[in-house]
């Protein structure tokens, strides 16, 4: 496969996943701000921090407000990680590799772009935000569904899936980190109704509310929730699940091309770290520190994959 085609597929699906995941991050911040005891817009600074765009936001704004933070994350074209920017970049990459996609996969991508363009034409009112976010998540899911249901399981599929899971792992770690940053004004709130509602919001933001109750007790135990989103390899947005899929898809590329790269070793090391992980030890050592370290390793893997297959920034 031409490097340009592999690059386009990898970044197309990273941006699709980024659009949906940014919508999920906004959803998490919005839900948790409703239960915050601070009664201000300060918690949105933590959401921007978790999205990795706080510095860029502050360069263009005097202060953080809920309305401006949501607008920046949702539709500001100067923010390359905004939902609007990510969907536009996904479509641009999709057009570049149009001949590698089935008609259904391309049409779903184009429909997502047109729908998002209409939804985000103007600033979204707070009352309309949940419906807008749900529509974006549905459109992105439709792209993945048509791609999964119509594409050959060849290198096209593998590069797209690697992009998806690199981005998804990054997002799950960031969404989980929002809870660390934000929202409890004092440790005395830990284990209270407020704390439980916030953890429930984390699960809902990654579409894991019901599946969590199948795997664990219905009580919102923070340690169990962290275990579910980090180490449970049955949960399709967990860090363990994502890196299991990355390793599998990289192994297929290794067999197809007869070449092994540092990215293969890095991916296998991350997978092994998650397989051997113990949630009690992670929590006692510091959940935030663990997530920061994971994000660094995941980012390094993305760079190594780009170098191995001669990608360029999407």
Q: What is the pTM of this model?
A: 0.89
User: Do the domain assignments include residue 123?
Assistant: yes
User: Do the domain assignments include residue 285?
Assistant: yes
Name the residue range of residue 230's domain.
3-308
User: Do the domain assignments include residue 127?
Assistant: yes
User: Do the domain assignments include residue 271?
Assistant: yes
- Report the pLDDT value the prediction gives residue 206, as an integer from 0 to 100: 84
Answer for the pair 93, 8: CB distance below 8 angstroms, yes or no. Answer: yes
- Report the pLDDT value the prediction gives residue 185, as an integer from 0 to 100: 42
**Number of Cβ atoms within 10 Å of the Cβ of 41:** 16
Reading the chain (314 residues) residue by residue, the pLDDT tens digits are 567 899 999 999 999 999 999 998 898 888 777 766 554 576 788 788 878 899 999 999 999 999 999 999 999 999 999 999 999 999 999 999 999 999 999 999 999 999 999 999 999 999 999 999 999 999 999 999 999 999 999 999 999 999 999 999 999 998 888 766 554 444 444 445 556 667 777 787 788 888 999 998 777 788 898 999 999 999 999 999 999 999 999 999 999 999 999 999 999 999 999 999 999 999 888 888 999 999 999 999 999 999 999 886 55
Q: Output the CA angle 314-87-45, nearest 5 degrees.
A: 90
State the helix-helix crossing angle for 155-181 and 193-205, rounded to 10 degrees: 160
User: Do the domain assignments include residue 176?
Assistant: yes
Q: Which two tokens stand for residue 283?
A: 């929590």
Answer for the pair 48, 72: CB distance below 8 angstroms, yes or no. Answer: yes
User: Do the domain assignments include residue 313?
Assistant: no
User: Do the domain assignments include residue 48?
Assistant: yes
Q: Is 221 exposed, middle or buried (0-12, 13-18, 19+ CB in 10 A)?
A: middle
How many domains is the chain built from? 1
Question: DSSP string covering 224-291, please?
Answer: HHHHHHHT-TTSTTSHHHHHHHHHHHHHHHHHHHT---HHHHHHHHHHHHHHT--HHHHHHHHHHHHH
What does each C-alpha distance from 127 to 14, 73, 207 come to in angstroms? 29, 17, 21
Distance (Å, whole) CA 263 – CA 308: 7
User: Do the domain assignments include residue 314?
Assistant: no
Distance (Å, whole) CA 28 – CA 40: 16
Helix (H) or strand (E) holding 205: helix 193-205
- Report the pLDDT value the prediction gives residue 180, as an integer from 0 to 100: 61
């Amino acid at each position: 496969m031409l490097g340009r085609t592999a690059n386009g597929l990898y970044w197309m699906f990273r941006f699709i996943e980024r659009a949906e995941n940014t919508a999920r991050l906004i959803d998490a911040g919005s839900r948790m701000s409703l239960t915050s005891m601070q009664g201000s817009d300060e918690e949105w600074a933590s959401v921007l921090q978790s999205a990795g765009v706080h510095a860029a936001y502050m360069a263009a704004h005097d202060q953080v407000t809920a309305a401006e933070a949501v607008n920046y994350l949702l539709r500001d074209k100067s923010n390359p990680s905004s939902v609007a920017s990510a969907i536009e970049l996904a479509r641009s990459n999709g057009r570049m590799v149009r001949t590698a996609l089935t008609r259904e996969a391309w049409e779903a991508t184009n429909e997502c772009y047109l729908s998002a363009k209409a939804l985000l034409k103007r600033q979204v009112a707070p009352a309309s935000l949940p419906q807008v976010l749900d529509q974006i998540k549905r459109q992105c899911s439709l792209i993945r569904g048509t791609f999964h249901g119509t594409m050959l399981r060849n290198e096209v599929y593998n590069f797209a899936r690697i992009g998806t899971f690199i981005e998804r792992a990054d997002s799950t770690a960031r969404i989980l980190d929002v809870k660390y940053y934000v929202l409890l004004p004092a440790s005395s709130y830990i284990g209270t109704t407020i704390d439980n509602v916030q953890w429930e919001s984390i699960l809902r933001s990654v579409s894991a509310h019901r599946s969590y109750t199948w795997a664990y007790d219905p009580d919102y135990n923070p340690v169990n929730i962290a275990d579910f989103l980090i180490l449970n390899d049955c949960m399709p947005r967990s860090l363990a699940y994502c890196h299991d899929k990355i390793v599998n898809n990289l192994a297929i590329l290794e067999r197809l091309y007869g070449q092994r790269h540092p990215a293969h070793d890095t991916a296998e090391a991350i997978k092994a770290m998650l397989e051997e992980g113990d949630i009690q030890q992670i929590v006692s050592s510091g959940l935030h520190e663990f997530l920061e370290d994971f994000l660094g390793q995941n980012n390094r893997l993305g760079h190594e994959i780009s170098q191995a297959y001669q990608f360029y920034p999407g």
